[in-house]
Structure 1
Amino acid sequence: MNQAASPTLILASGSPRRQELIRLLGLPVEVVPSNVDEDTPEGWTPRQIAEGLSLRKALSVKEQLAGQSFAESIVVGSDTIVVLDREVMGKPRDAEDATRMLGLLSGRTHEVYTGVSCVRVSDGETVTSHRVTHVRMRALTAEQISRYVATGEPNDKAGAYGIQEIGSLLVESIDGCYFNIVGLPVSLLSEMLGTYGITTP
């Protein structure tokens, strides 16, 4: 399939960061936030959580588009979680929870999982995968954590930090895909779109 014939990608996320990243692929993009329930069963592994939630988001938006003029479009769902010592960290509930998370991450290496799911609207053909990046956090003082939490940046971020913003000052090193930490591993997504015969620029 050539670029001119490429279908529109439907991003099942309201995240400005994911919207910026998906546009790097150079394909037409529409944004339709999923707003799904993000609860998961007890005992799910980090991979199951990241992939399962990404698929739930994509399928939810696919259903919203049924009967509309998006038949050959591909819905893209994505979900990011932070994992430390098998504890899965989603978005903090409040400032106290953000402070707790950052205290646990301080001076240690954690994993960031991002699940990605693609679903074709016309026939429901689905591809799901994930990437893992290891992140080493600087040793942080209580004051540094308090000042960062006060910025409000941790509020909507898995693990209570955003590496692409002020939170970059907290990170010592990474091993793996940077964009995976931001919330959408575009190289992985590009590979997955190849399943549908879509070639990215």
Structure 2
Amino acid sequence: MLLSKKIILASTSPRRKELFGKLGLPFVVEASDYEEDMTLKMPPQKLAKFLSYGKAAVVAKKHKSGIVIGADTFVVFNNHLLGKPKSKAEAKKMLKKLSGKRVDILTGLAIIDVDSGKKINTIDVTKVFIRKLTDQEINNYIASGEPMDKAGAFAIQGLGAVIIKRIEGDFMGAMGLPLFILAKELKKIGVSVL
């Protein structure tokens, strides 16, 4: 395990901080002041990679040494980004549309080794299959309040777990930081998790 370089997580997400902590590597969190432009005309997978790299690059420029990690996560349905519902009515509409369908959770991942200049930029795709939901189940879930601040109107790590039929891919990726891919990519620059 390489501990001579500081590892910097370029994120203010409490979930990403918690997930990265599971790797057992010492790290610090530093907010990236990268301006996300969600109006860019590119496919969701490219956008996730582009924005994750932008977040990491802004933080990397502030350091002479270290490894900077950036990530960005989207929920995608039929190749369209799903944001957070602005109202209960919008949450209901979203959940009705997703009922019995598959959504993709994309997490762009960027790693910049400031010392060597090595850059890694990849994507994790987790397929989430939502079970068929009744109107009453949708109403009850919305009444819990959980869908209101979640992209796609559901959270796989919360009560939303009961609306999910199955997941294909990295569960941690669906929560915002794909630990399997992250560990594999860190190893390429000399940082071994195990």
> What band does the TM-score fall into relative to the shorter chain?
0.7 to 0.9
Aligned to 2:92: 99
Pick which of 115-124 and 72-81 moved more: 115-124
Specify the SS of the correspondent of 2:22. Answer: helix
Give the deviation of 1:127 after TM superposition.
Answer: 0.8
In structure 2, what is the Cα distance between the partners aligned to 1:58 and 1:41? 20
Give the deviation of 1:93 after TM superposition.
Answer: 3.7
Aligned to 1:55: 53
> Are residue 166 (structure 1) and residue 164 (structure 2) matched?
no
Conservation of the 8 A alpha-carbon contact between 1:3 and 1:200: no
Q: Which structure 2 residues correspond to residues 27-176 of structure 1 after superposition, within 5 A?
A: 27-63=25-61, 66=62, 70-122=63-115, 124-176=117-169
Conservation of the 8 A alpha-carbon contact between 1:114 and 1:180: yes
Tell me which amino acid in the other structure corresponds to 1:24.
K
Which consecutive residues of structure 2, in runs of 5 or more, have no partner in the other structure? none
TM-score normalised over the length of structure 1: 0.85
Residues 198 and 46 of structure 1: is their aligned pair in 2 closer, same or farther, counting only changes over 3 Å?
same
Give the deviation of 1:3 after TM superposition.
Answer: 3.9
Residues 62 and 153 of structure 1: is their aligned pair in 2 closer, same or farther, counting only changes over 3 Å?
farther
Give the deviation of 1:124 after TM superposition.
Answer: 4.5
In structure 2, what is the Cα distance between the partners aligned to 1:101 and 1:124? 42
In structure 1, what is the Cα distance between the partners aligned to 2:55 and 2:84? 17
Conservation of the 8 A alpha-carbon contact between 2:74 and 2:151: yes
Tell me which amino acid in the other structure corresponds to 1:50.
A
Match of 1:26 among 21, 24, 27: 24
Match of 2:10 among 9, 12, 20: 12
Q: Percent identity?
A: 38
Which consecutive residues of structure 1, in runs of 5 or more, have no partner in the other structure? none
Give the deviation of 1:4 after TM superposition.
Answer: 4.2
